[in-house]
């Protein structure tokens, strides 16, 4: 079944369960494969993929308002951001800047590290 990004985004904005199902069926395998390639862990890749698709559905209004790229490009920009944040967090844990089980202080330290990384790039 063919659909346009605009029609799918409108359906998601309206809370249409068919639109959600179509988005899930269309994009879950692609996003999962991408995340699994980067994380090399099946369970983590599933969880991250679900988080990404949930964020996409919750913020579809942002995509729909601008629509300067395809829905796929927009979704993979969210995916790349999630992967990058996970990589930064894992690197901070390896360097001893964070412990694997975080608390609020560590969350704010992670946020600080992310902002420093963004500022450098």
Q: Encode the chain (121 residues) as per-residue pLDDT tens digits.
A: 456 888 888 999 998 989 999 999 999 999 999 999 998 999 999 999 999 999 999 899 888 666 678 899 999 999 999 999 888 888 887 777 666 555 555 556 666 666 776 776 5
Residue pair 75/52 in contact by the 8 Å Cβ criterion: yes
Considering the entire predicted model, what is its pTM?
A: 0.71
Contacts of residues 71-74 at CB distance under 8 Å and 24 or more positions apart, as own/partner, are: 71/5, 71/8, 71/9, 72/5, 72/27, 72/30
pLDDT for 91 equals 82
Q: How far apart are CA 78 and CA 17, in angstroms?
A: 22
Question: For the purposes of burial, counting CB atoms within 10 Å of the CB of 92, is it exposed (0-12), middle (13-18) or buried (19 or more)?
Answer: buried
Q: What is the pLDDT of residue 108?
A: 60
């Amino acid at each position: 079944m063919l659909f346009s990004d605009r029609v799918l985004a409108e359906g998601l904005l309206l809370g249409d369960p068919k639109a959600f199902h179509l988005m899930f069926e269309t994009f879950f395998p692609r996003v999962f494969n991408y995340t699994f390639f980067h994380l090399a862990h099946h369970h983590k890749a599933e969880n991250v993929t679900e988080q990404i698709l949930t964020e996409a559905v919750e913020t579809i209004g942002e995509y729909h308002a601008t629509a300067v790229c395809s829905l796929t490009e927009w979704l993979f920009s969210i995916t790349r951001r999630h992967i990058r944040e996970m990589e930064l967090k894992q690197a901070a844990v390896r360097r001893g800047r964070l412990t694997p089980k975080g608390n609020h202080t560590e969350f704010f330290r992670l946020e600080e590290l992310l902002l420093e990384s963004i500022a450098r790039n």
